[in-house]
Structure 1
Amino acid sequence: MLNLPAIAPDTIVAGFHALSDPLRLQILDLLRSQELCVCELCDRLNVTQSKLSFHLKTLKEAGLVFARQEGRWIYYSLNLSQFVVLEQYLAEFRRFSTMLPARPCK
């Protein structure tokens, strides 16, 4: 089992669901190096604000990003501690499982 404080399964599911969309992965890649406002994300990804807002909401609900309002703009940044939770969840499979070589498909 996990050596972490009890993690709600919903937290893990929400995190991996948020990571399952290509546009959300692009958003996270842009946020790796700096905090960005919605307008900057829209420009760099060439998407409408309404489409972007839907994906940012999913990332925020999964706890993968922080949102901070400054004036009329909302700035987003990564919540690295939530990535650590997901990483540690996956690491438990490696820790307690024997790694077997892949078998060729027939």
Structure 2
Amino acid sequence: MDYENYAKIAKALADPKRVKIVDMLSCGAMCACDILEHFDFTQPTLSHHINLLVKAGLVTTEKSGTWHYYDLDKAAFEKFKADTAGLMADTPACICEPVRSKAVCATEAKEAKEPIK
């Protein structure tokens, strides 16, 4: 897992307005003007939110004439979902295994030094 990229995506999704934009785009590509109708902020503010989602790799943009259309990068979302599930998984490939092994070794070493009662 690329922790830097995962954190960038999580940070982009940490704002409820951006989560709402993602939810709206889950229905298909939308023009900026159509997205803006659902918010009480200006076009530059929308651009800021969209830009963060684009930089995180979650949203793609396409210009057609004077209009900008935005869509979800579904592959990026699938990877994010899989990485999120992987964070909670206790598998043999888990990052916890080396840590867990050291903890077990430390516990066994401590027990070996204690006198048997």
Short-chain TM bin: 0.7 to 0.9
Give 1 or 2: higher helix fraction: 2
TM-score by length of 1: 0.79
Unaligned 5+ runs, structure 2: 92-117
**Residue number among 36, 45, 51 corresponding to 1:51 in the alignment:** 45
**Residue number among 69, 73, 82 corresponding to 1:79 in the alignment:** 73
TM-score by length of 2: 0.72
What do you get for the CA RMSD once the two structures are aligned?
1.4
Deviating beyond 6 angstroms after TM superposition, the runs of 4 or more aligned structure 1 residues are none
Q: Where do residues 1-106 of structure 1 align in structure 2 (5 Å cutoff)?
A: 7-96=1-90
Q: Rg bigger for which structure?
A: 2
Q: SS state of the match for residue 38, structure 2?
A: helix
Q: Which amino acid aligns with 1:46?
A: D
Provide the C-alpha distance between the structure 2 equivalents of 1:60 and 1:25, rounded to a whole number of angstroms: 13
Aligned length: 91
Unaligned 5+ runs, structure 1: 1-6, 98-106
Provide the C-alpha distance between the structure 2 equivalents of 1:23 and 1:44, rounded to a whole number of angstroms: 10
Offset, 1:34: 1.8
Q: Which structure has the higher relative contact order (CA within 8 Å, separation 6+)? A: 1
* Identical pairs, percent: 30
Provide the C-alpha distance between the structure 1 equivalents of 2:9 and 2:87, rounded to a whole number of angstroms: 17
